[in-house]
Amino acid sequence: MNDALNLLQPYPFEKLRALLTDAQPPSDKRPIALSIGEPKHQSPDFVAKALADNLDQLSVYPTTLGIPALREAIAGWCERRFGLNQGAVDPAQHVLPVNGTREALFSFTQAMVNRLPDALVLSPNPFYQIYEGATLLAGATPHYLPCTAENGFNPDFDRVSEDIWKRTQILFLCSPGNPTGALVPLETLKKLIALADEHDFIIAADECYSELYFDEDQPPPGLLTACAALGRNDFKRCVVFHSLSKRSNLPGLRSGFVAGDARVLKAFLLYRTYHGCAMSVPTQLASIAAWKDESHVRANRDMYREKFAAVLDILAPVMDVQLPDGGFYLWPKTPIDDQRFTRELYAHEHVTLVPGSYLSREVDGFNPGASRVRLALVAPLADCIEAAERIRAFILSLES
């Protein structure tokens, strides 16, 4: 058995279940979960129809590279969304369909890490736990970069030492961040590309929340935007991960893509060919329909805007909480220890959150997620409002 399995930490939701095991919520209050980041808005009907209309294709073995029509649809979406020149993304070289970003982030790390004794993979802290698990199972060491309010909830890359950069093989970015909702600024992305060139590492940008933002006139930039601004037409050392899960409310479709450096993707395709994770043809055809439509994505953003506005009106007077740059999470400070806050809120109000310390790692005695909680505003509007009102009532009870 792989000894590295012993290095894996319990997933945050396992810790949460243990925390709440003996807590007894009030029976007269229905449960409201703001813990799991699973989109609850309705999936687009036209995607379901495209899936159903092509079930006869289940008799066809899918290829790992995917059908040309899907790669062309993805390439076109990237060019439109990130302001790239037409033809900048070659569907044959720069795009690889994947079964959602979770699987892709994990397998990408296995394919890219060169198992040297001092190999590092850099990650924001707090972070999506797949980054850590993938790093450990690939034989590298995670190096955590704290994301604090003082730096806009982004890592302070200027504080990373030369020695750390030299040992880095992959730098994970998450923009907008999970759980912070912070965007990595365009100028920072450009600076990181220069560092990747200098020290020969890959930037792996997890952008699965990129389509959940608040200003329709200013879609947030991504790593491909930075490449275009630098005239980096080969996307060298840069790859991005996107998914239909959050953008299109299709978490069960397990459909996304990786795009960027053709040399890197060629190696990743070789790995995936052995890995055996091709996307079914009906799923690919349904995905084409989703990537070609933006009206349902705009409607999705409208629903999140409404929820953020309503919840912040309720919570801002009693909590240190701000509107994020994007995504569907709030990342407020708690007036008491985050684990105690989560447990007692559940016991008093039957509302479930995730302690921030479960999404972070303590480094040198400091855990950047401590005294914070993550709220996923994925439930219906009425549920989010009721949950916020219960949270406010609980906080006021602590003060009395």
pLDDT tens, position by position, 45-85? 999 999 999 999 999 999 999 999 999 999 999 999 999 99
Asked whether the beta carbons of 244 and 256 are under 8 A apart, the reply is yes
Q: What DSSP line would sit under 79-136, residue for residue?
A: HHHTTPPTT-S-TTTSEEEES-HHHHHHHHHHHH----TT-EEEEEES--THHHHHHH
What's the pLDDT tens digit per position in 317-343? 999 999 999 999 999 999 999 999 999
Percent of the chain with pLDDT over 90: 98
How many Å apart are CA 127 and CA 361, to the nearest integer? 9
pLDDT value of position 399: 84
Q: What CATH number belongs to 56-293? A: 3.40.640.10
Mean pLDDT of 363-384: 97
Mean pLDDT of 223-247: 97
pLDDT value of position 151: 96
Mean pLDDT of 290-308: 98
Domain ranges, ordered by start, for the chain: 3-42+296-399, 56-293
pTM of the predicted model, to two decimals?
0.97
Q: If 0-12 CB within 10 Å is exposed, 13-18 middle and 19+ buried, where does residue 71 land?
A: buried
Domain spanning 3-42+296-399: which CATH class is it, in words? alpha beta
DSSP 172: E
Asked whether the beta carbons of 189 and 225 are under 8 A apart, the reply is yes
How many Å apart are CA 57 and CA 49, to the nearest integer? 14
Angle between helices 130-137 and 101-112 (to 10 degrees): 30
pLDDT value of position 50: 97
Please check the confidence at residue 400 and state whether its pLDDT lies above 80. no
Mean pLDDT of 82-100: 96
What are the backbone dihedrals phi and psi of residue 123, each rounded to the nearest 5 degrees, phi first?
Answer: -140, 145
Asked whether the beta carbons of 347 and 368 are under 8 A apart, the reply is no
How many Å apart are CA 25 and CA 352, to the nearest integer? 10
Q: What DSSP line would sit under 25-51, residue for residue?
A: --TTS--EE--S----SPPPHHHHHHH
Please check the confidence at residue 277 and state whether its pLDDT lies above 90. no
pLDDT value of position 165: 98
Percent of the chain with pLDDT over 70: 100
Q: CB atoms < 10 A from the CB of 300, how many?
A: 21
How many Å apart are CA 125 and CA 123, to the nearest integer? 6
The chain-wide mean pLDDT, for the chain, equals: 97
What's the pLDDT tens digit per position in 151-170? 999 999 999 999 999 999 99
